[in-house]
Amino acid sequence: MQRSRTITRLSAVVVITLLASLTTGFRSPDNAVQAKWTAYVVHTQKGEADIHFTADIPGGWKMYSQSMTGVDGPLATNIEFDPSPAFNIVGAPAEKGKSSSFYANDLGMEVKCLEGKAQYVQHISYTSTETFAVKCVINYMLCRDGEILPPDDEDFTISIEP
């Protein structure tokens, strides 16, 4: 009787441990397919700068463009800046990269994607003479041959030195 109880407890511990490790493994960002993002600043003239965001997109995958339209499909890439009195956003981000578009029958819409490397350039103006931070989040989605990953966020805090 004692032996069977011990075996049952050990079996339960093993099963729970396996389930927990599998669940954690699937949720770990290290296992997920993601773009690798970097950012840098180029001062264009006094009181103005361009913030360059670059995404290295994994081979075989594509990132949805910021210029996608439609409400019932995948989300377009979007950059949201935290408001700050230190700077002003000037215009929309310019999108650069190898792009392709196609009609997705399953979505019933035209899809525009970027592959390999995508770059977004956001122009800002500022009056501050002190170093300040620009905080933003980039929301994007990746796809590959009909496989669509859930939206992902990349957070940035960029220091601007006038």
Q: What average pLDDT score do residues 12-28 get?
A: 34
The DSSP code for 151 is: P
Question: CA-CA distance, 28 to 45, in Å (whole number)?
Answer: 42
Task: Tell me the three state secondary structure of residue 130.
Answer: coil
Per-residue model confidence (pLDDT) at position 26: 37
Helices marked H in the chain: 2-27
The answer on pLDDT for 126 being more than 60 is yes
Rounded to the nearest integer, the mean pLDDT of the chain is 83
Local confidence band at 155 (pLDDT 50, 70, 90 cut-offs): very high
Structural tokens at position 60: 């075989």
Local confidence band at 71 (pLDDT 50, 70, 90 cut-offs): low
Question: CA-CA distance, 20 to 16, in Å (whole number)?
Answer: 6
Per-residue model confidence (pLDDT) at position 1: 52
